[in-house]
Structures are given as structure tokens and as C-alpha cells.
Structure 1
Amino acid sequence: MNKNSHDNSQKNGLPPLFAEAAVSETFRPKELLEKWLERFPNADEREQVQAIGAALELQTLSKPMEDGGGDDAFGLPNDLRLELLAKLGARRALSVLKTFSPRKMTRIESDFQTLLEDRAASVDSQNREALTSILNANRWALAVGIHSPYSEEELLQDLKKLDFLQNLGGADLNRFVGRASELGRLHKLFNGLADHRITARIEGPGGIGKSLLVCRFIADLLIPEPLNEHIVPNAVFHIDFDRVAFHQARLITILHEFLLQSGFWHANQDSDEFNDLLESARRATNGVASGSDKLLSESRGLERYITRGLVALFNTNPRPPRIVVFVDSYEQVLGFDDTAAGACSRAIDLLEEAGAVVMIIYASRTFFGETFSPVEPHIKLVGLTAPEADTYLRTRVELLGLKVSSSVLSEVRQSVGNTPLALRLAASLIEHDPSDRMVREWGHVAEQSPELIQAALYDRLLRRVRNEQLKKVAIPGLLLRRITPDIIEQVLASACGLDLTVTTPAQLIAAAKKEGQLFDEKNNDPGALWHRQDVRLTMLNNLDRSIDSATFRAVNEQAVAYYVRQQGRLARVEELYHRLRLNQDTQILESRWVDGAETELRRVRNEFSAQAQAFLRIRAGSAHRASITAFSNTVASVDLAYTDNDLKEFRISANKQLQAEEDIPGLIARLDDIGMNLNGALGDIYAQGLFLAGRHRDLLNGARRLLHKRAASTAEVRCEIFMVAAQLLEGRHEWQESRQFWTSARSASKKSHDELSQLRCTIAILRISRKLRLGGGDRMATVKVALDLLAKNLSSVYERAVLSREICAELLGLKRGFHFVHRPQDSVERLMAQLVTRGDLFPSAVEHRYRLARINELLNIPLDSSIRNLRNLVSKLSNEKPASPALIEAIRDEIDWNLAKSIDISESQNPYHRI
């Protein structure tokens, strides 16, 4: 400070040091005094006394604060600061600020100087610190007489929006990864919001990230696009049924909450009209909660009045207000309180009646028993992909300033699973102990501590369960697929520590029926409840690791003993399930096997050991199919007078016989007897029969004729015929004609609106085009079609291992430049993660030693490496970006080998048998 500045401080009526304090966010009076004395060493005694008095007065007037480094400091009360700034003026304030070191200035001080210099300050509307800084700097600028370009009202609204998002998503919002496909669907829905509501459902077990997905979607919505600001919603309302206050919610309760939350989205909270609305809603809500019939009756008359007033708050332009309503934890009232469950939908009715257009998103662990239109979007969440999970873990570690290797990340992920909650719990291990030892041993610690993570995951799941005895069933009970009163008594009571004198098995089943987040009912199994498969997929691996082996064996052995005593096919299948879980001897399994069991058990094959899975693959199709002969004889005996139902039953039986590859010539003969050839309603069955019987010439000649004539069969049947012919030709390396049949099959699938077949054909066309070295714009267009179809049908593709492999073989190696809508390649990475997790990537390597050697060779590891070593390597390679060329080549080899094998080329002639 120069002498003139010192003189000016007196002219502005401010004591010494007060000007510096007024433009400082925090200060220490002692340091201000020391700096003043350094700058004015020639000050007389009177001036020094004044400066010392000013320092003491500042300490008295100010309030204790922390500076940016966390040390003790002082700051002026806001009213006093604004009063001092008004006396100081803009010119003097800028002069004082310029004496500060730029490197030591706080964000507010820097923003204040920017405004004083008439420069634009950058404002990040998604950053609370930046918004708070510019808001305070804006107030300081107004105090010194500077007209700011920023509206305090708008800045406050932006801060309120951040408060809303913080309440909704918490700290995890900034750690969000993945879910590109699901986000893309939600954005597409919102962008199509016009004159009627859009309803979306998001379903998944606890901890899978339902709320976080919606929060990320809403956060994205609140960032306006420069040319599409009208796309930003006027308001977002959040109803969380996890809050006890909403467990008995009524329509007026929901509307009252909408009014309370409307303050996040408009600035007219102090108006008389708004206060009248709020008071009316408050009184009515309290009356309903107290059970007052009079106030309940009055509330019904207020509902439309309140809703019209609410919508009017946002009706500021010609377009109808766009409102998003997020209904969270819907399972808390679904099936327990129909009035509360329907209150949100009725509130939406009133919002629409008042002129708003609404998107409502339900998030629930289950929609058990709920009825929705089939056209309403239904998103079922699964775990993150391996790359997404690793990115999440790496980000959490880097926030601590630590580095961790990819191999450690992979170990952690494989130990705890891919759900966001499990990953967050794993990350907390290293956050609580960020030592070098923990960084090195993180994977080992996570693997050795699954019971801690398991307990936390189950705690989150079971917090919603109301019956304490039922909670005891949950952990060991998950080892069973179904429960009944008898199973509770004879299998679970001892293992779960149940006191059946307190709650009977029948009472437990009645309580369990209300827990849609845990159990499903099946029409063909009355009286029994089945554990939800999505919950089992998420929790079973952790349970297997954490539960003690004695309990595991006891529950499964008691289940086997129970089902041995029961009659019926269902009992045999469940008995076999538990025998496979126990990894029992092949001879025992063969002696207890029943027809068709492999079809049901293959769906849960990932729950079995590698040995049990291999047995299941070999056993598939070996059951007897005698019933088809009797059925076809019956059909033939009625002189071809078969009905649609007859054809349906014949098709089911024939498909089983085709799968078993038993007496195929006999099946073809029976089809001939009833007049069913390639041109008939069972042409697809006939084509598969010709294929398996080795009558390839007859198949191809018939399929070629079908290409050029009007057929009596449906588009679905023609599609299947063309695909069988295309597969045969591809296996024989006749790629040009194969491509023609795949293209015709795709056209037929479009006519039948069969998107899965269309996807399969599209992938096959990409595969053939690659072999023919065709590229260019046509290939890029085909890739886009494939990615779009995959994004829409991802949940269905998960269940089809062969199709999943074929998709990964063609799409996994795409460069990141292939960006269409919301990174659809994430869908491919999820398929890959699913194949790796389930061990479905190289099934031939499990069944054939020479195939294991071939895959090892392609992946550049010793030929005699074990299946375990192969799987560990594949798990690591699947996380590489870009995708490992060797891994892609190995997947393609697996597909080609199966194609060649399917047309009955002996292994000695197989061009892929090179070992």
C-alpha cells in the first residue's frame, strides 16, 4: 500500500486495515497489522495506535472461521462487510485487491476482482464451490456499485438444483460409471415427451444402482443444450417410499410433497398465492394423517386447486410445463398399501389435467403383481461390466492419491462382484486403510473378507423385510431355489435357527409372499415361493464363499433327502439341482436323471462347478423322446385334420427330439407322412431334420426353391429355414451363397418383427463380410444396425450364450470411433463380462483337450495350461482396451469350429484341428 492509498482509506471513512478486511474472505488481524506496519514504517505514533486499535476492533467485530488451508482465521459478518464495501467503492476495492498475491487469493476474491475489472467470470453450474463463490462475489460487486451480469435469483436456483441432486444421489453421483445404454433409453423417452405421459420402470435388486441411474439421468437433463433449452424439465419431483412418512401416503400427501419440492425449481416461494397453497396442503395432509374423516373429505376438494396452482408456477411460456416424477423404493408400498402405491399415478393424472406433460419413473426391487402396459419401457439392471467396475475402483483409489495395478483391480472385482454397492464397499476397505500394504494386498483382503461385504449387501436387502423370522431364512435359504412350509420345517429350520413355536412355516410363507424383492410365485407350482433369480445371481457367489462348508453341505444334502421323498418331475429336477451343487458322482446323477431336466438346469449352469457344467453339456439331449412317435402317429391317423394346437404340441416335441439328435430320419419320415415339407407350417422343423440327418443337398435345393417362390409358410418359418441353409453353407466355406441366405433370413425376420433373429442374421452378415474382406460404408451401416438391435434386446441376448459369443466376435474389436448413441459398445462389453463370468466363452475347451490346447495356442500361453489358467487369462484380457486381438481371434476360432462341427465334419478332417 502506498501513502496515497493510506490517505484514501481515511478519506473513505474507514479505519486502517478495514479496507483489506472488507475485500478478504478470511484474514488474521495480527497479520494485517504486521503488513500495514511493513508498508508504512514511517507512520507516526498516532497512526500506529489507530492501526493497533483497528486490529483489535476487527477481531471483536469478526467471527472465527477457517482459511482455505484449515487454519484458524476471522471473517467479517456479511452485513458489516457489505456496509464497508459500500463506503469503500469499486475503484478503491480494486486498488486494494491488486496488492494481494494472485496465488494466495481465494476463489471469491478472484471472482470479485474479475467483476470489478468488468471481465466475465466462468461459472460452472454443476460446481457448488464455483456457484457459491460467484454468488458472494456478485453481492460484493453490487455493494460497491458495480452492475453484475449475473442474476442472484438464477444463481440461487442453480444452487437449489445442486441441493436436490445431492439429496437424491449423494456423493456417488460424481462416481457414476457405465449404464450408457440405459441412460440413452431414458433420454430418448424424455425427448419424445409430448402430449401424454411417459412411464418407465427400472427394476433390480438392492445395491444395483437404480436410484443412481435416475439421478445421473436427471443431472444430465438439468444441463441445458445451447440450442435446446426447452428440453430442460421445468421441475423434477422425488417421492421415496423408503421414507416412513410415505408408507401410508395419500394423494394429498404426494401433492404436498410436490409443493415443498417446488422451491427447488421456482423462486416465488414468498408469494401469498404460494403460501396459501402450501398451508392448505399442509392442513389437509395433517388431517389425513390424523384419520380425520372431515379433513379427508375436504382434501379431496383441494386436490385439483393445489395441482392447478402448482402447474401455474411453471407455466411461463407457450409450451406446456415438462415435469419429471421419480418414484423410488416402490416395492415398499407395492402389495402392502394399494392406495399409497397408486397415489403417484393419480397425482400425475391431476398434473396432466392442469396442463403439464409428465414423465414418471418407477424404481423398484420388484414389480411383482403390478400391471403395466407392455409398451411401457422396462429396464432391468444388472451388474456393471468388468471395465466399468475397474474404472469405478480406480477412480476411488486415485482420489486418495494412490495407484493400483490392473491385476489388483481385477482380483477385487472378481472377489466382490460387479454391483455398485459391492464395489463401494470394497473401495471402503482401502479408504479406511490407504497404506502401501493395503494397496498391494487389496484383492487378497477383499477375497478374504467377503463376509463383511456380504453382510452389508444382505443388510441393505433385508432392511426392507418386515418379519424377523423371515430374515433368518434369507442367507442359508438362498441355497435353495424354492421354499414351501415343508421345506422350511424339514430343510431350513435347523440351519437357520428358526423357532417354529413363534412363527409357523405357513405364517413364514404368508409373510414371504409380500416380499416381492426376494420371492416370485409360479403358476405351475402353487403353494411354493421361488427365490428371485436376479437376487440369486447377485448374491450366490458371495454366499458360496462366505457360508461355512458344513452349512452348505448340510442344507444341500437335506434338500436332496427331502426331494427324494417327493413325487413328480419338479421334485426330480430340484433334487438334481442340489446334487449338481454338491458335485456328486456322474453315476449317481445318471441314475436319478429325468427326461428334460437338462433344459431347465442349463439356465442356472453358472451356479455349478466346472465339472458339473461339463456333465450337463454332455447330458443335454440324451433323454428319451418316445412320446413324439405316438403323437405323430395320432396326427397322421386323423387324415391330416390337425389344429393349430396340434401343430404347437408337435413342434414342442419335435424340437426336443432335434435337440437330442435322436431318430432324426424317423422324425423326417413322420413329417413326410403328415404332408409337412419345407413349404409347410413345420418347414423349419423339416429343415433342421434334413440338416442333422446329413441330407444337405435336399436341404439346400429346397431352400433355394423357397428363395424364388411364394411360400405357404409364415415369415418366421422361412427365416429359420434360410438360417439353417446359411449356417450349412458357411460351415462349408461357401460364403457368397451363405451371405445371400443370411440376407434373406434377415428380410424375413423384419417381416415377422423378430428382432433377436434379425440381430443374429445381422451379426452373421458381418462375419461373412469379414471373411470375404468386404468393408466400406455398407459394413459401417450394418454395424450400426447390430448395435441398435443389441441395445434394445440386451436382456434377452444375455440368456443366449451362442449369440453372445457371435456378437462379441464381431463387435468387441470396434474402435471407439464407432460411437453412435450413448456408447452402445458398453452393451458388447457387458455381454463379454457375462460370458467370462459364466465360463461360456470357450465351451469346447472344457469338453475337448485338443480344443483347450488350440485356444491356449491362440492366446500365446503353454498348450498344456489348465482350464483354470485359461479362465484367469481370459478374465484379464477381457478388460483390455482396445480389446485383445488374440482374444478376439480365439473367440472367432471357437465359433468357426462349432460351425464346422455342426455339419458333421469329423475332427480328423476339421481344418481347425491343428494340434
Structure 2
Amino acid sequence: MTDLPQALSEPAFEDAPEPSGGGAGPWIAAAAVLTHFEPLTLKAQGETMSPLSPAMVDLLDASTPSRASPHARRLHFAMRRQTLARLGTRAAMRAQLAQNPAPDHPTQRAFQALLDGPDAVGPLLDATDPVALAAVDEALGWVDGILDGLPSAAQVAERLSRARLLMPLRRLVGEHFAGREDVLAQIATHLKLAPEGSVLMLQGPGGVGKSTVLAKFILDAVEHSPDPPTVMLLNLDDPQLVIDDPFTLLQEAGRQLRIQHPDLNPRLDQMRDYVASLQRRSRSVGVLESVSGGTVEWTAVSDIAREIVGLIPGDQPVLLVIDTFEEAQSTGPSAVNRLMQLVETLRSGNPRLSVIIAGRVDEDSAPRHTLTLGALDRTSARAVLEKVAGHGRLPDDLADQVFDVARGNPLATHLAGKILAAEGADAFRRDADLARLIGQIRTEKVQAQLYGRVLGHIRDAEVRRLAYPGLILRRITPDVLRHVLAEPCGVSVPDDAEAARLFDLFAAEVALAEPEPGTGALRYREDVRRVILADLRADQPELAARIDAAAIAYYSTQTGAVARAEEIYHLLSSGAENARIDARWETGVEPYLVRSVDELPPLAQIYLANRLRMDLRTGLRDAADQQQWEVNAEQTARALLRDDLPEEALSVLNQRTARQQGSLLYLTEAEALTMLDQPSSALETIAKGLVSAEAAGDRLLVVNLRLLEGMVYERMGRNAGSVAAPPIDRAGQAPSPAAPRPLGKTPDRQVPTRASPTEATGSPSRTPIRLMGLLFAVLVLLSAGAYFLVRPRATMRLPEAIGAPGSLSRPGILPPPAILTPNTGPITDMDTAIRRSVEPPIDALAENRIGLFAVLGALFLMGAVWVWIRKRRGTARGSEASPGVGVPVPEQDRAAIRHAAAEAYRIATLTHNDLARLRAIAGLLRLHRNAIPPPGYDPVALVAEAEGIIDRIGVTALYDAPGLMRELAAELGMRNPQLLATALRVTGAYVTLPDELRRQSGPGSAAAATSDLRAREILGDLEMPGDGAVNALSMIATSRGPDQRYATMALATDLLAAELDAKRGTLPPPEIRNRPLPWRYSTAPPQDTNWFNMTKAAF
């Protein structure tokens, strides 16, 4: 049976009407078999068309201008297909072709091959040139479904994608690769013999040929190996890859896998969409996002990365190649950390995966398996030189002289070959003195000098005058030649045609100018350009300034991220003021600027590094003033917090102890301390930050500090059960701590000081511990008595007295019992007491077997009790590293939490910052939900205020604060389905289940996880998933009917709330979590048609 959608999408060519060209029909038929044509010279039936003919209008309407020539046109695709369908046969199409000369164009040749049959098409399909395959793909689109005996479109598309994937490698290897057999063999041997999952570091200085060697190795492995590997190549020099964003790297890896394994496309497409949703959330580096769960956990990245490489079928090797690793190092430790975490995750996902990393890496940071790439030997260097020069075998003395100049550097050798090709074999003999001079200069200078000579021998005089000054620019296009370079260089470029001519000559003549992927522009080779650029700007500052000014003027009128990045680059190069650059900055320029930091003056480097969130190098860090340093330190530390590296973040913040008034570093430092479970230190930092923020009048910082303060108190209260919180004075202010403790590199993971046993410090949760202590003492007496009844001669040191419980400070709370043993004095440590109370001479027990069994049984029981007590004590007392579950917040901490939240809300209302107000409102609503209601704040009024703000600013305004979006969805999701759906799409569809909810598996566990009474009835006996995560978006979207939609949405909001509570400490007790809270749920019944339609639209 024919697939209906497919049938509807395919035109019925057998019923194709006559081309609607009127009298132009014959000429349209002639044009249909040509890639392009000129209307005045196109022949049909042996005649050309008069320019005054009415049919000329029809011909022009049926076509569009072509770039092949100034007067060329090409037929519209739909018109071409319709006309060729009318012709119908190869013979009819050949007859039309015979009327006009065929254009010299790859698509024209491919069309002719399709008419000639499979034997003619075969060589084109076997081509490795993507231009030839793209031509076949285009020509096939003309006649697919019209002619028979054609290759399948899927087959051509697959080969074209593969050719495009390998084309950068072919261009890099070129036709002049020689030597390196030993290095290629070492790489192959390592991958064959090294343990699975090994990492090989290929290192060496710039220009030594690391990328070329890797490209040659990959091409040989893919095309000539009997067992070709699956290869994923991540070139960190690619502007499309954001080095510290693992999601862009995963997207690129997935793209390459789709090309090599088309069968994986459906699953990879699903994963691509999921990665895109996680990517937006991961880019948040806003305040409080790290501690509030806004940023993506690394587990999400790990899971998707492992699944991607786990999909690769077969038994063939899998190779991950990371080139230009130095780009990650220059970005900063956070970028390196993220990249290496991704590498480790990919390795763990597929045991067949091996890794090669290439870059200029220091020995200290290199992996265990390192291969250093050195210069070419004389034989290999001579082979490269002769291939490039094109003069056959060179005289020995000349080859030796060039080797002495280039010192075996592949790039310098290539440039020397270009000079020989341009000047002849006597080029270096005529300049022997210069060659010897160059030989004394460092290798990079050799490259620069040789490159200058290459530019000086360009044949066209005007291109030669443009080429060297053109190094000031990063991109060359025809428009740039005309509007930017021409006037400063004294070259006349009157029109676009002349600009296009010069550009074509420029592209053909300028050595090492490479096409920019996807744009048609040219780019100089970066490593050589940087060396020449410094000399060019120093030697000709006026010329450089004029070119910068012209570039700024030109790009300021252009749109798009590329144009804006070029404008900003030249503003920075010219020393423009920061305010002027700020005014021109646009989101999206970052990838196009990140690799140009080192080209700029020092102050511009500091500015751009801060803008790009890159680490400052040591020299620049020392040169930065306090404000510049704080901006960079805050960005670096927050990126480390995003990666869950709070200790490294503190190390960055501690590089300087001084702080500006109103410094954001107080907040960042407090967040790091909170993540390190150092609540007392965090509160001290918050207190200092509040003083500084209030003195600076920074209300927004005050709000964020107060919100963080509430989180700290809540975490302390839940984890410890009881925390000595600072008292609240009559004015409602929490006093600042006494002497602040200086921060060191070692985290202070101590629980804040608790009251002594003689004070009122107990928590109701400690009562069972004290009762078990008494039970333990009784067991000790019973076991000892049983032993003496059976074998009176056995001796044992027993406790002479057991201290009775002291006076109760509050009903039901017992202080720890003091267990006394002979000659030891009081012992307050339970473990020591147990050990000292069971130290009998074991050999005496062997005299009576019954007594031995009795005592061993008692000891076994005591041991079990001891283990249970230790575990219970750890849970009751809490550990800042391992929070407990379901512990209510003590009243003294409730006061501190309420105060912090109320102050945050009060100040937020004065900031006129919508996100700050929403964050403060979300904090207050959470306190109401967790039964810590601050007096005077009605949840219904807070909900109305939040809904009003969201309606005014729109949900998209929350994209940059994914943690806040997720928290608002937890509180308001039932009332605003669009907010809930958007939050799940943007911040991640999966909700992580806290441990307590995971343990509540079985029938009815889903109903037990929600507080909405109507939802509980609908969910009934449904079970929660057992894998620790719920795809809430899918759960809601696939629910059937209004009732299930209502119940799953209520469940999703409660699971989101539980996830957020767990991230901040522990869940509240079940009796608090399961309270019905009407303000969180929709006032409309599940069967309400409008409400259900609204949810359908959202999901």
C-alpha cells in the first residue's frame, strides 16, 4: 500500500502540464537542461529570442540570476522539474542539450553523466571531492523520479556527507605530504597495543605538523584499513565549538556519527534535541544557580555522552581525536576540566574507544602516553620541498641550504618551497646572506620572513599591494577588499566586478590563505599571521590605524554576529574605550573572538578575557586593577562552581584578599562555602557582604545574599537537626558573627558548635539514641550475669556503676549517659564505653562451652546494637557531608530563615529587578510549602504577584535563570501550564528523585508523592519508576484525558519541589510535604475544557 503522506508529496509527472511560459516554452525547455544560460544567446529550434519579444518577460520570470557570469540566469527549480518531466526521456533531453553549448560546470557534467547511464555515473560516485558529489546530488534532484536507472538520493547524500566530513583533512594533508612514517607507525602501534580506553598525547611546537600528521593518520585508517574505525574529530580551533561547553562538543560528535552510521540517525536526533535543552540550562552562570540547582548536573552530561558512544555498532575501533588542545588551556582550568571530564565519560561509555589529543602541552599536564613530534629529517624535508617547488630533484647544496634555514620545520619548509616555485632554483643562492641571517632567528621568525617573501612574489601588482597590509584583517571578502583595504593601500577598486576579480586572484595567489567554512571568505593562517602582525603594527602604525578605522566603519553598517565580532576586534585593536565596545557588543560574537585574545594590546586582552569569561594569564592578572581582577575572578570561580568544583573556586577567590565595596565576590565565596558544607564560614562571608553591599547601595546584592543566607540556615537546620543560629535582635536583624575566620585551602567541614549536655540543646530525634544507650547498658549486665551463673570462676572486669540520666532540660530529651568503668572515670564517648565494657580474658571463657555460647550470643547482640546505635547517631546528629532525610527545621533556625527571606523580599521590591523579585517570591512560597511561613506574607497574594510579573515579562525572560524557572514551575506549574512546559524543555525534562522517594516504590507510590488530593485519587495504585529519574515532560505529554493530565502535572510539580528541596539539604518530613496547598494548584477542575485545552497547547 502506498504511504499517503509520501503520495501527496510527490508530483504526478505523467500529468505535468505544459510549462506556463507562453511563447517562451521552447526556450524554457532548452534552458531546463543547462545549469545556467544567457537569455540573449540561448537558442531554441535554432533561433535566439529577440530582447523585445513578449516571451522574454516570461523567460526572465521563470529564471533567477546566476553567479556564473554577469548576465547569466538559471531556471527556477520547480520550473526545471516540470519541464524535464514533460520531456520525459533521455533522448528528448539530449536533443535539447544539442541546441546550445554546455556550460563548463560540475553540475552540468554530472547531469550529462546521468543521461549517459550507470557507467558514467560510477566514477563520480567514487569521487572523494565533495564538489563533484554535490554536483551529482544537484543534478539528481533535477531528474529523480523522471528517469530510471539512477543512483538513490540517499546513497548520494551519504557519500556527499562523508566526503564533506573528510574534506578538511584532505585539504590539510594536501598533495605535498612526505615523511613521518615513523610517527604514523608509532601512533598505530600505540592504538593497537595500548590498553583499551588509553589516551595518547601528540605534542610539539606550533607549525611542526601535528594536525597534518593526525589528518594523514585518520585518512589512512578510514580509507585503507581493512577494519576502519569510527572517528570523531573535535578541532578546538573551530569557532562553532565552545570549548567549555560540552554540549557543543557532543553535538559535533553526534553529527559525525550520523554521517558514519546513518542507521543511528533516529536515536541521535532524539538525543540532539535533549542535548539542546540541557545546553541552555548549562550556560547559566547566574547567582545562586549553583546552589539552587539551576545548572545542569554533570550526571546529565555523562549519561548522554555515554549513550552516544554506546550506540556505535560493530566491533571496529572507535577513535576520538581532539586537535589544538592549547585552545582549551588558554581558555582556563574550567574549560580544561570540562573537556577532560567529557573525555573520561566517553571512554567509560565504550571500551573500544581510544583517544588522541594534540596540542602544545606542557609535560606536567600531559597524559602518561606522550609522543613528541619533532622537526622533519633531511630526507623528509627535501621530499616536501621538491613537491612544493615543482622543479623536480633539487641540487643537494640547495636542499641543504633550505634545510639549514627552515630547520626541518614543516611550515617553514613549505614556505621555502613556495619561494622556489615563484623565483626559481636560484632564489636562495641570490640571497645566501639573508638565508644565513634567518637561520639564526627563532623558528617562528623564519616562518614570518619566508611568508613575507611569498607575499612579495605575488604576480598581480595590485593583489601584492593588498596582501601584506591585509594581515591587519582577519577576513578577506570582495567587499572588504573594496571598502576597507583599497583606499589605505592606494589601490583603485571602482566596482564590485573589480573587487570580485581581485578576490579570485587573491585566493589563488596568497599562500596559506584558507577558505572560511560556509562563508566564502578567506582567512590567513593564524599562527603565521600573529607573528607578522606584531611586526606590521610596529613598523607601520599609521597604516594599521587607517585599516582598523576603515574596518570599523565598514562592519558597523553590517548585521550578524560575524560582522559585529570583526567590528569589536578592530575596536579593541585600535584601543577604543570600553564603554564604546560595550555599546556594540552582541550575544553570539564570543566564538569569533575567543582565539584572537593574544593578538591584542594588554588592556584589550584583559577586557576581552573578562567578556569571554576566560582566565587571565599570570602576567595579565597581575597587571589588572582590582575591578578587572574581581570581574575575572568572579567569572572564573562561578564557572568552577558550575562544574561542582567549589574548592578550586575558593582558590581563585583567595588570590587576593582585598574586596571592592559591593563586591560580588562575597556572594560567590559564600556560595562556594555553602557547597563545601561550611555553613559557619558562609554566614560570616554573607555578613561581611551585607555590610559591603549596603554601604555601596547595591540592593540586588543584598537580596541575593539574604536568599543565600536563608538557604544556609535551612541546610544547617535540616542536616544537623539543631543549629545554634545567631539570635535575632529586637529590630529583627541578625547580628554579624564575631571575628571572621580567614579562609584557607582546607575546607572546614565541622558542624557548627552545639550546646553542651547540661544545656537545652537536645532534639527530639535524639531520644531513641539515649534509650538505646540504656538498653545497651542493660544488655551488658544481663550478659555478664548469665556468664557468672554458668561459670562463676570466669573473671571479667564489669562496670561498677552506670550513671543515671541527669536532669531533663526538656520533657522527653535525655542527655548522653555517663558510663563509668573501674579506674577510668566518666566516658562520654559511646564507642569507647562499649569497647572498655567487653574486655574479658577470652581464655577464661573456653573453660565452659555453655558459658562461652551464652556470652558470645550476648556479645553478638551487643555488637548489633552498637552498629545500629552508630548508624542512628550519624543520622540523628547529621553530617554536613551526608545530610539526613525528613528532619524538621528547629524553631531557632526557622526564625533566621524567615528573617532572611523577608529581608530579601523587602529589598527586592525596591530594586525594580523582576528576576530578583521573582526569586524572593519563590523563596517565600517555598517556606510556606515547607511549613516555615513568614508572618505577614500571604501565599495567595505572593502567587498573584509572581503571576503578574511573569505575564508582563514573559516566560522567555527566565531563560537566563534556569534554576529560578524550575523553582517557579514547582510552585506555579499547575496554575501556569506554559511555564511548566517551558521549564521542562529548557532546564531538562528529567526530574531526579531524592533517595526518600526512590525508596517509596510499589503500588500507590506515585499518589504518595503528591499533595494534591484530586491527583491522589486519579493516580491510584500507579508506581514511581525505579531508575531514580522521571521524564516529567513525556509523562505529562502522553497522559490521556483531562484527569490523567491533571494528575501528572500535579505529580510533576511536586517532584520538582522535592528535587529542589533535596538539592538544598533534605526533604521535609512526609507530614509537611503531603499537606494540601490550594494556592499551588489549579482552581479549575480537571474536566474543565478550557484548562485541558490550555495544557494541550503547552505540552
Q: TM-score range by the shorter chain?
A: 0.3 to 0.5
TM-score normalized by the length of structure 2? 0.35
TM-score normalized by the length of structure 1? 0.41
Structure number with bigger Rg: 2
